[in-house]
Amino acid sequence: MKKKIAILGSTGSIGKTTFNIFKKNKNDFEIILLTTNRNVKILLKQAYFFNVKNLIITDKKKFLEIKKKLSKEKIKVYNNFDDLNKIFKNKIDYTMSSISGLNGLIPTMRIIRFTKNIAIANKESIICAWNLIKAELVKRKTNFIPVDSEHFSIWSVIDRIPKYKIDKITITASGGPFLNFPLNKFNKISIKSALKHPNWSMGKKISIDSATMMNKVFEVIEAKNIFDLDYKQLSILIHPKSYVHTIVKFNNGLTKILVHDTNMKIPIFNSIYMNENKNLISNKLDLKVLNNLCFDIIDKKRFPAVKILELLPRQISLFETILVTINDILVNKFLNNEIKFNDISKYLIKFANNKEYLKFKKMMPKNIDHIIELSKIVSLDINSKVYKV
């Protein structure tokens, strides 16, 4: 029997990688739902290939355009995620939630009740709303799989081992395109050079986060939430080759290291085919890299964004929503040529230390609307305070 599948954000980087895995194993799957914001050209290609009957297009103009175009076809087109109950009558087997940004919060939360397994690649759901997501997972008896390469690696290594047996979990960071770039030239970094990640092919937003190292700050928060750890159990090491994805040291003296190619296909494939006898063709063990792993500590002068870790509260709070929102705005302003590259970290640290924002460290998210409303308020505030260079 074919597995029933949904991909939220099927036209983004993670969504396309997921779709291509299904495409190569077409006889194993029936895709029930695909979604996008505006990239309808790719969405329709995907839909026709798998004969998908349900599409969600969140951009109003594109939705009306495609709804009219498909009016004589047996494809139902919806404009938002309020209609999930019209699409799913029974639980499907697997959902990939890969809508980027805070826009992915509501879709992630709402689809949990309709799926047996959910792979969440939407960082913001895990960072800002993990307490709400986790409660919904338990309530709906839905299995969660992390698919970010670091978190999937940790998940694979610890395999339900209780946290008191874990001494330290290390997440690796490549250092991005500016690991050895002269510090006195950071104010001249171009958008083009910031997007050139040496190891990974990613979207613009995550590429900039990798260049500032803010993505590692977010990954530490994710790991703390997912695995119910203390921040003192987590650390980051620079590893330019991106071959080792996690190092886990246990209290019994053992340390486990997980390696795989710099390819998101590997964690996604394994999240789909858990406990199944299915092989993925990958590269042979790279002995040259293993003999030259080259780990190093983070230079905070080069990557000042990691200082944000010192501000984080022990328990999940609304402060994380504020951090995500501030970072989103600053990255967007850099990509629009409104601020310089090194302004991202400078402004981020400045605003994160604002007394008006620090008070939210003691407030836990009550619901998704709580998070989204706060993000809107912070967006207006930050946009009024950051000016063009």
Domain of 18, CATH number, reads 3.40.50.720
188: its two tokens: 């001249």
Domain boundary among 262, 286, 311: 311
Write down the pLDDT at residue 292: 92
Spans of the chain, pLDDT less than 70: 387-389
**Same domain assignment for residues 152 and 293:** yes
CA distance 33 to 316: 32
**Same domain assignment for residues 231 and 176:** yes
**Same domain assignment for residues 206 and 295:** yes
Write down the pLDDT at residue 67: 95
The model's pTM is 0.94
**Same domain assignment for residues 75 and 38:** yes
Write down the pLDDT at residue 389: 44
Domain boundary among 95, 116, 146: 146
Interacting residues of 103 by C-beta distance below 8 A, sequence separation 6+: 37, 58
Count how many domains the chain has: 3
**Same domain assignment for residues 33 and 178:** no
Write down the pLDDT at residue 387: 64
DSSP single-letter state for residue 305: G
DSSP 3-state of 275: coil
DSSP single-letter state for residue 37: S
> 5 near 93, Cβ under 8 Å?
yes
> 52 near 31, Cβ under 8 Å?
yes
Write down the pLDDT at residue 332: 95
Across-strand partners of 170?
235, 247
**Same domain assignment for residues 159 and 304:** yes
**Same domain assignment for residues 97 and 190:** no
HEC assignment per residue over 114-157: HECEEEECCHHHHHHHHHHHHHHHHHHCCEEEECCHHHHHHHHH
**Same domain assignment for residues 56 and 161:** no
Closest to 35 (Cα-Cα) out of 92, 111, 89: 111
Please give the radius of gyration of the chain, using alpha carbons only, rounded to the nearest integer: 21
**Same domain assignment for residues 201 and 298:** yes
**Same domain assignment for residues 330 and 299:** no
Domain boundary among 128, 146, 164: 146
What is the residue range of 361's domain? 313-389
**Same domain assignment for residues 152 and 140:** no
**Same domain assignment for residues 274 and 386:** no
Write down the pLDDT at residue 385: 85
> 87 near 33, Cβ under 8 Å?
yes
Across-strand partners of 377?
none
DSSP 3-state of 180: coil
Q: Which residues of 357-366 are buried (b: 16+ CB within 10 A; e: fewer)?
A: beebbeeebe
| CA-based torsion, 75, 66, 124, 20: positive or negative | positive
